[in-house]
Amino acid sequence: MHHRGAYLAAIGQALANDIGLHPVYLWTLPMFHCNGWTFIWGVTLQAGTHVCLRRIEAAPIYEAIAEHKVSHLCGAPIVMNLIANAPEEARRPFAQRVQAMTGGAAPPAAVLERMTALGIDMVHFGVLVVVNIMLGLVTPPYGLLLFIMTRIAEVPLKAIVLDVLPFLYAMIAALALITFCPDLVLWLPRLMGYQG
């Protein structure tokens, strides 16, 4: 990722994920993995607090959520599974709702349901984690498609897979191409014969 892309993606992360001022972000995603999906800068942009862990284990995750009043976290579906299926002795109650973002293969419906019951709202980005965020910058307000994607946990899983995702990924691919190749915006109409 180049600097311009990282800058835009960080702003997009903050906007698209409703990260208001002073979030408390728990690092359950490696910072080296695509720059932590640019949350390193997105959370900092919003004057947030970064909470880091030495190990990704259920007890320290629950402890950090409760102690630091974590508002956001990211992680692979396996991390979400770890949180959802933690043994009772590893869990700690927390009062706030937490927004958890995940990417790649969708977590099983049972994990989504458990996370919601625990007070953790899930957002699934799909396989184009960072590129999806760019939709927030090219379609107002915050990107209609991104708005739909961030509410994915509220849609029945079957509807997401069969109806929503193929359309969303086609739009994401088209918008990402335009976002990352701005010269294409000028060149493509000419190629199609437009002389304006």
Quick: pLDDT tens for 40-88: 888 998 999 999 999 999 999 999 999 999 999 998 889 999 999 999 9
Per-position b or e across 67-102, b if 16+ CB within 10 A of its CB: eeebbbbbbbbebbbbbbebeeebbeebeeebbbbb
Output the six-digit token pair for 117. Answer: 């019951």
Q: Specify the fold of 3-191.
A: Rossmann fold (3.40.50)
pLDDT of residue 176: 65
pLDDT of residue 161: 46
Q: What's the pLDDT score for residue 103?
A: 77
Which has the higher per-residue pLDDT, 145 or 6?
Answer: 6
Mean of pLDDT over the chain? 74
Position 186 pLDDT exceeds 60: no
What mean pLDDT is predicted for residues 22-47? 88
Q: Model-level pTM? A: 0.67
pLDDT of residue 43: 92
Min mean pLDDT across 32-36, 60-64, 189-193 is at 189-193
Mapping DSSP onto H, E and C, the string for the chain reads CCHHHHHHHHHHHHHHCCCCCCCEEEECCCCCCHHHHCHHHHHHHCCCEEEECCCCCHHHHHHHHHHHCCCEEECCHHHHHHHHCCCHHHCCCCCCCEEEEECCCCCCHHHHHHHHHHCEEEEECCCCHHHHHCHHHHCCCCCHHHHHHHCHHHCCHHHHHHHHHHHHHHHHHHHHHHHHCHHHHHHHHHHCCCCC
Q: Round to whole Å and give the CA distance between 98 and 147.
A: 18
Structure-model confidence comparison of residues 2 and 36, the more confident one: 36
| Residue 133 banded pLDDT, cuts 50, 70, 90 | very low
- C-alpha–C-alpha distance, residues 195 and 56, integer Å: 57
Q: Domain residues of the chain, as ranges? A: 3-191
Confidence of residue 142 (pLDDT cuts 50, 70, 90): very low
What is the per-residue pLDDT for 112? 84
- CB of 73 within 8 A of CB of 20? no
Residue 59 is predicted with a pLDDT of 97
Question: Is the per-residue pLDDT at 141 higher than 50?
Answer: no
Query: What percent of the chain lies above the pLDDT cut of 90?
Result: 35
